[in-house]
Amino acid sequence: MSFAHLPACRHRGEQLLPDRWLCYSDRLVLRTGLVPGEMCRSRCPYVDHEPASPGCPEPAAPGIRVEHCPELIAIGVITAPRPVATLPQTLAELRRGGFPQPVHVFAEPTAPVPDASGVVFHRNAVQLGLWGNWVSAARWMLAETDTPFVLLCEDDVRFCPCAALALQHAIDVLPRGRWGYVSLYTPYHNLPDASGPVGWRHLPVGAGTWGALAWCFTRAGLRAILNSRTVRTHRDTIGTDEVISLAVSEVGRKSYFHVPSLGDHTGGDNSTRGHYHGPGEAFGVGFSATYNGYLPK
């Protein structure tokens, strides 16, 4: 799985099949998300030089030094069958983003699960759907882990290299009593004003929110959210993004997002339900895949 025979490209992801690579360029509309190496070598006009979005310059990295404490966070990932499996890459992305701790994976009955070191699999007895699987995973993490923070991810996310350090910085500086969730994914859709400083900011999101890809909760905050009327009365099989965000507001807590985004959505045209979700473009030029604004002490 070497990149040596291909031109360097910030948009190319993991090799999943012989000479077939994941591509994250929002300029390419791909049914499977896979491109042949030949496209990268000779025909793709966006290899490593996709134009920046007008008016959205790459934020400067602040270079904040952080003492990383991974033992503070337990990690869970929900997964379901997709036309092209994204779970293996998501697990690799968690490691690339700086998360060394065990990962609990909550899989629907027919979801493929890879043999991966440091991963604990939990197979659902029946199909729960996106919302049901998320809530079930959240409740299991509260009951069976004892860390002060819980990071819940979906199976189609990638991270910049300093994602774990940035989350540690949030743990260090954000008030825990008001902590609803801290999101490692900041879509343009949720960001009404792209100006302002680099770093964590409170966004009062609610109805219409996008992006439950990677949310970190305090234990008390997650328990309050799951006990909220908004969560208890939700009956649809989807809607995690909006319902949890509305519940955060209901219980008097806040939602925090990072500029630039620390994560990106990889499953827009690779839906578990067989339809196109749209790119869900992350804030940061072409997603800041190499952004490294936080450094270890």
Q: For 178-235, write each residue's pLDDT tens digit.
A: 999 999 998 877 676 666 678 898 888 776 677 799 999 999 999 999 999 999 999 9
The SS3 of residue 229 is helix
Tell me which H or E stretch contains 296. Answer: strand 294-296
Whole-angstrom Cα distance, residue 162 to residue 187?
18
Q: What is the pLDDT of residue 23?
A: 72
Q: What is the pLDDT of residue 108?
A: 96
Q: For 137-167, write each residue's pLDDT tens digit.
A: 999 999 999 999 999 999 999 899 999 999 9
Sign of CA dihedral 271, 19, 2, 107: positive
**Chain-centre distance for alpha carbon 261:** 10
Q: Is 54 exposed, middle or buried (0-12, 13-18, 19+ CB in 10 A)?
A: exposed
Fold of the 64-296 domain: Spore Coat Polysaccharide Biosynthesis Protein SpsA; Chain A (3.90.550)
3-state helix, strand, coil in the chain (%, to 5): 25, 25, 50
Out of 15-19, 93-97, 232-236, least confident range: 15-19
Q: Is 259 exposed, middle or buried (0-12, 13-18, 19+ CB in 10 A)?
A: buried
Residues whose CB falls within 8 Å of the CB of residue 228, separated by 6 or more in sequence, listed in order:
247, 250, 251
The SS3 of residue 138 is helix
Q: For 69-82, write each residue's pLDDT tens digit.
A: 999 999 999 999 98
Residues whose CB falls within 8 Å of the CB of residue 126, separated by 6 or more in sequence, listed in order:
109
Angle, helices 219-226 vs 129-144, to 10°: value is: 140
pLDDT bracket for residue 29 (50, 70, 90)? very low
Kindly list the domain boundaries of the chain, sorted by start residue.
1-51, 64-296
Q: Quick check: 274 pLDDT over 50?
A: no
Q: For 249-265, write each residue's pLDDT tens digit.
A: 999 999 999 988 999 88
Question: With contact defined as beta carbons under 8 Å apart, do 269 and 276 qualify?
Answer: yes
pLDDT bracket for residue 248 (50, 70, 90)? very high
Q: Quick check: 50 pLDDT over 50?
A: no
Give alpha helix (H) positions in the chain. 37-38, 87-96, 129-144, 163-173, 219-226, 229-232, 240-250
pLDDT bracket for residue 292 (50, 70, 90)? confident
